[in-house]
Each structure stands twice: as C-alpha cells, then as structure tokens.
Amino acid sequence: MPHVVRVSRIVALVLIALVAAVIAHPALAQEFDPASILGEWSGRWNTTSAPGLVQKYYLTIKKVEGKRVEGRVEREGRLPPNVGQFDFVGMLNGNVLTFAPPGLAKTEITFSGKTANGTINVGDRVVLQLSKN
C-alpha cells in the first residue's frame, strides 16, 4: 500500500509540473491582438433595474495605436445624459477598453474574439453585449 501512495504522489507532482509548464510557456498562451477590435460592433445595452428594456448599441473602432483607441458610439434609448452618438478616445489595457468622453459616464468593454461585454457606470448599472459585424 505505501508503494501505491508514493506512486500516486509522484504522478500528481508530475501533472502539476506539466500544467505549470504549459501555463508559463509564452508560445502556448493566447495573446490578444489589439488590431482585432478594429471595425464595427453591434449589440445591445440594458440596465440592471430594467433588464427587459433592451436597446441597440453600435461601436465603431476607427484606430488603435498602442494603448490609444479612437472610436464612435451610436446608441438608441434613454441613457443619461441622453446623448445618442459621440466620438471618443479611450485606453486599451490588454483586452479591456475604457473611455469616458467629457460629460459622459465611464464605459469599460472587455473583448474576447468576436464578442465583447461591458458596463457603463451611470447611476444604474448598464450592461453591454456586443458582437463584431
């Protein structure tokens, strides 16, 4: 029985080492390409207090230079301060885009392949769900 326990421990240690090597190896880690967010995205937004009230949201990423992102938002519905469309300059940190045009709430969008999810920080939490066109 002690032999079985010792072999099990060795196997467990080898598996842990293999998993650690795969995680640590940079070639095996999938890197985010900032250029992948360029283009048109569309989807919806809704507030957490009225999840059934879904409105359209359009995001166009025009330019990505390093961490700096230029884009445009067009949205339907009544989201304070009721601005339907605006241009923005934001910052990209990894796969997370953050922007807050003057007079508007901070928006944070996380990109994952051809989908993106985010929030707008107004009095009521606004949730975004987007997909690349």
Same domain flag for 127 and 99:
yes
* Range(s) of the domain holding residue 4: 1-30
What is the CATH classification number for the domain harbouring 41?
2.40.128.20
Contact 126, 79 (CB under 8 A): yes
pLDDT of res. 2: 59
Same domain flag for 89 and 117:
yes
Report d(CA 53, CA 81) in Å as an integer: 17
Same domain flag for 60 and 113:
yes
Report d(CA 20, CA 2) in Å as an integer: 27
Same domain flag for 25 and 47:
no
Same domain flag for 57 and 41:
yes
What does the pLDDT profile of the chain (133 residues) look like in tens digits? 555 556 566 655 444 654 454 444 444 446 899 999 999 999 999 888 887 888 899 999 999 999 999 999 998 876 555 668 999 999 999 999 999 988 888 999 999 999 999 999 887 788 999 999 9
Same domain flag for 7 and 48:
no
Report d(CA 13, CA 129) in Å as an integer: 41
Report d(CA 128, CA 48) in Å as an integer: 11
Domain count, the chain: 2
Report d(CA 17, CA 129) in Å as an integer: 38
Same domain flag for 69 and 102:
yes
